[in-house]
Amino acid sequence: MAVLPYLLVYLGVVVFVVAVAARFVMWSRMPMHVRWELYPVAHEGGGRASYGGSYLEIPQWWTARREVSLWGELSAMVPEMVFLVALKEHNRRLWTRSFPFHFGLYLVAACTALLVFAGLLQAVAPQLVSGVVGRVLGVVIPVSGVAGLVLGLVGAVGLLHRRLSTPELRLFSVPADFVNLLLFVGVFGVALVTFLWVDRDFALVSAFVANLVTLKLVALPAEGAAAVLPALSAVLLAGLTAYIPLTHMSHFVGKYFAYHAIRWNDEPNLQGGDQEGTIQELLGRPVSWAAPHIKGDGTRTWADVATEDTTK
């Protein structure tokens, strides 16, 4: 029985990695999205992004070398991912619930990464763990872990209340939305109980993770609740991690494509270029939309629709 919690955690990690990879591959193989043509585009170089300009301003732009700014992309994406800037601007009341929830998840993920790092460090350089590095980790790990669990729990409860109490949100909420939030409340609640009851310094959960990363699948040096709760908390967190990419919560992967393949895709369609062949292939696909203005009957192609004389 001592081995079972470790095996379940390994399984959760494998499912998470495979599911995220599958989502990424699925979205990367989707057809080219209709371009938004909204400016500024964050990766626009030459200082033009600051006023909403684009490379199309350059005379004979099709012959010029494009300037693409990775820093511009990061300066737009990182604040959005970490602080949910757009949600704060457009829906402040929802942001006050959603931000602590998401930031709590980031802190729990950071705490987990530090636990793994500490476990590996203990295996390869135990002298560092007994020194300053170990003392710093001994403070940062519990602080980030507890802060993340508290923020995540508060945010999940707040989002539950918001969905139940706001009519416009209630109309767009499905049972899965409530189940997902209740899972976070339950799993984070168990982890907080473990901290408050048996593992105030994160020593037991640190030992469990160290055993995981060094393949030392033995029972924790504790008895009763102190032996059960840390392993149970780790298994529940691993199960939740595996579950997330199997649901619509996998939007954390889709957000990359929403920005790069839709919102910021301004790759020029040049004669003989990569875009031309892709667009030609898409224009040859049949249209089956039911909208009367499209008149898609499954035999007409997008090229037919795009070149139709609408005056007839």
Domains of the chain by start residue, with CATH: 4-31+89-249 (1.20.950.20), 274-306 (no CATH)
3-state per-residue secondary structure call for 22-66: HHHHHHHCCCCCCCCCCCCCCCECCCHHHHCCCHHHCCCHHHCCC
pLDDT tens for 137-177 read: 999 999 999 999 999 999 999 999 999 999 888 888 999 99
pLDDT of residue 1: 67
Paired tokens of 90: 């457009």
Is the pLDDT at 272 greater than 90? The verdict is no
Q: Please state whether the predicted TM-score (pTM) of the whole model is above 0.75.
A: yes
Paired tokens of 208: 């469990």
Is the pLDDT at 37 greater than 90? The verdict is no
pLDDT tens for 193-205 read: 999 999 999 999 9
Paired tokens of 207: 């030992």
* Percent of the chain's residues with pLDDT above 70: 99
- Across the range 264-291, mean pLDDT stands at 88
Amino acid at 190: V
